[in-house]
Amino acid sequence: MNIEFRQESFRDDFTFRNSPAAIRRFPFPFHEDSYMYSVNMEPHVKGAPGSAFESLIDVDEHYISEMRDREKVLKEDPLRCQALPHMMMAQWDTLELLMEQQAAGYPEHFSLTKDGDNWHWINKPLGIDQKFVFGDVSTLPCEPMEYITRQAQGDFCIVDQRDNNLWMDAGIATTQADWSLDFDIGMNFMEWHGPVPLAHQIGVFERALKFLLNLQQGKPVRRLNWTMTINPRLDTSPENYPKWGPDRATVTPENVGNKVHLRCELQSLWRLPRSNAILFVIRCYLIKMEEVATVPKWARRLPRVLRSLPPELVDYKGLTRYRQTTIDWLSKFDDGAPTSPGIFPD
């Protein structure tokens, strides 16, 4: 399958769009007409062709443009990519996993050949041809996690496991929904989830942690998370909040279909073989309301979900200023008919 990569921007003139096929494969995060936090984890196994689950590390039409955007963010703020010193083995694990998965899923675009520790990586979309020695940092242009995550869509956290907890000890975050890697690095699972409302009280994090501590190699898991973003902006970091915050006050009944985006995170978690750390992939997908409206099931469901949200969640996700305008605009697509279970289009 040959992907046609789009040239588009996630800032300034915001030329990002989804092709009709990309709309159909969007991982819509609501399996029913309401939403509340839950431990919604399932095995990360391959799904139907034409869905975002077709490959376990998904590469899509936005790949090249997303990598260009990441480059810009890192140039402005190198602290978006950090790794504590004890994480080097986990960095190599991450490099191997992402190279192998991308090569397996998209052999026409990526290839990895190994001859003992002498590895050869070819990334055709980005024009990269790299021979290196696995385990020898001096044979790569930068540390392994940074090297490979500059060539993979999504944010990545590598969490170390010790003292019956998970510790966010390395990561790269340039497409994040308002959390700071620089601030959170070194925190444990409960600490970095500290600001999330409601979920602590209903025991979600305790159960999720218990589950993840037992994650097995070769059996990755996934969950979907979501928020909303004004304009197709990947970098909604707290660092740059003064740059994107004002966008939230620009939504009107006239522009809501074009400006308001559903932002879905396909999060997958992988036990790493050498380090016993866990790679936490946070892959971000954006879709504007006009695009959602082309899928009847989603257009019916989304306004119902937005109406069902508890106020704490509306506030935490930053929807307050434009939720009602969005519900009003979407409601014209909701004829009240029942929706089928599950996330996929009918």
Partner 1 sequence: MLVVGIKSRPVYKGLMIDIHSARHLFALEGEGAEALLEQIKSMGSGFLEKAEILYVGPENPAGKLRELKSFDFWTAPTIPVLLNRLKASLQAARMGTRLYLSGTEGFIGQAMQVALDLGIDFNSIRTEHRGSTARRVQCVHCKGITDNVTTSPFTCSHCGLPLLVRDHYSRRYGAFQGVNIDAEEPGSAPKPEVLFP
Stretch binding partner 1 (CB under 8 A), from 33-41, 99-107, 185-193, 259-267: 185-193
Paired tokens of 89: 């083995």
- Closest separation between CB of residue 158 and partner 1, Å? 16
Residues 6+ apart with CB under 8 A from 259: 230, 231, 247, 250, 251, 288
Cα separation, 131 vs 105, in Å, equals 21
Stretch binding partner 1 (CB under 8 A), from 20-28, 193-201, 279-287, 288-296: 193-201
Max intra-chain CA distance, the chain: 61
Q: Is 93 helix (H, G, I), strand (E, B) or coil?
A: helix
Output 11 or 271, the one with its CB closest to partner 1.
11
Cα separation, 11 vs 65, in Å, equals 11
Element spanning 157, H or E: strand 155-162
Of 223, 248, 283, 300, the catalytic one is 223
290 neighbors 171 (Cβ within 8 angstroms)? no
Of the candidate residues 129, 321, 328, 332, the single one contacting partner 1 (CB under 8 A): 321
Q: Does 183 bind partner 1 (CB under 8 A)?
A: yes
Stretch binding partner 1 (CB under 8 A), from 112-120, 147-155, 190-198, 262-270: 190-198
Q: Does 184 bind partner 1 (CB under 8 A)?
A: yes
Element spanning 181, H or E: helix 181-184
Q: What's the DSSP call for residue 278?
A: E
Q: Does 200 bind partner 1 (CB under 8 A)?
A: yes
DSSP 298-328: HHHHHHHHHHH--HHHHHHTT-TTTHHHHHH
Of the candidate residues 57, 87, 157, 185, the single one contacting partner 1 (CB under 8 A): 185
Q: Does 242 bind partner 1 (CB under 8 A)?
A: yes
**160 φ, ψ (degrees, to nearest 5):** -85, 150
In the shown chain, the binding pattern of residues 129 to 168 toward partner 1, with x for contact by CB under 8 A and - for none, equals ----------------------------------x-----
Output 105 or 197, the one with its CB closest to partner 1.
197
Of the candidate residues 58, 60, 235, 239, the single one contacting partner 1 (CB under 8 A): 239
Output 33 or 247, the one with its CB closest to partner 1.
247
Q: Does 197 bind partner 1 (CB under 8 A)?
A: no
Element spanning 68, H or E: helix 63-76
Q: Does 194 bind partner 1 (CB under 8 A)?
A: yes
Q: Letter for the amino acid at 74?
A: L
- Closest separation between CB of residue 302 and partner 1, Å? 23
Output 81 or 95, the one with its CB closest to partner 1.
81
- 223 catalytic residue (yes or no): yes
Q: Does 296 bind partner 1 (CB under 8 A)?
A: no
DSSP strand pairing (42-43 vs 221-230) = antiparallel
Q: In angstroms, how far is the first alpha carbon of the chain from the final one?
A: 24
Output 99 or 168, the one with its CB closest to partner 1.
168
Stretch binding partner 1 (CB under 8 A), from 16-24, 186-194, 215-223, 299-307: 186-194
Map the footprint of partner 1 across residues 54-73, applying CB under 8 A. Answer: none
CA-wise closest residue to 3 among 97, 110, 150, 101:
110
Length of the chain counted residue by residue: 346
Q: Is 267 helix (H, G, I), strand (E, B) or coil?
A: strand
- Closest separation between CB of residue 92 and partner 1, Å? 23
Q: Does 75 bind partner 1 (CB under 8 A)?
A: no
Cα separation, 220 vs 269, in Å, equals 5
Residues at the site binding partner 1, with contacts judged by CB under 8 A = 79, 163, 180, 182-187, 190-195, 200, 238-242, 245-246, 248-249, 321
| Residue numbers annotated as active site | 223
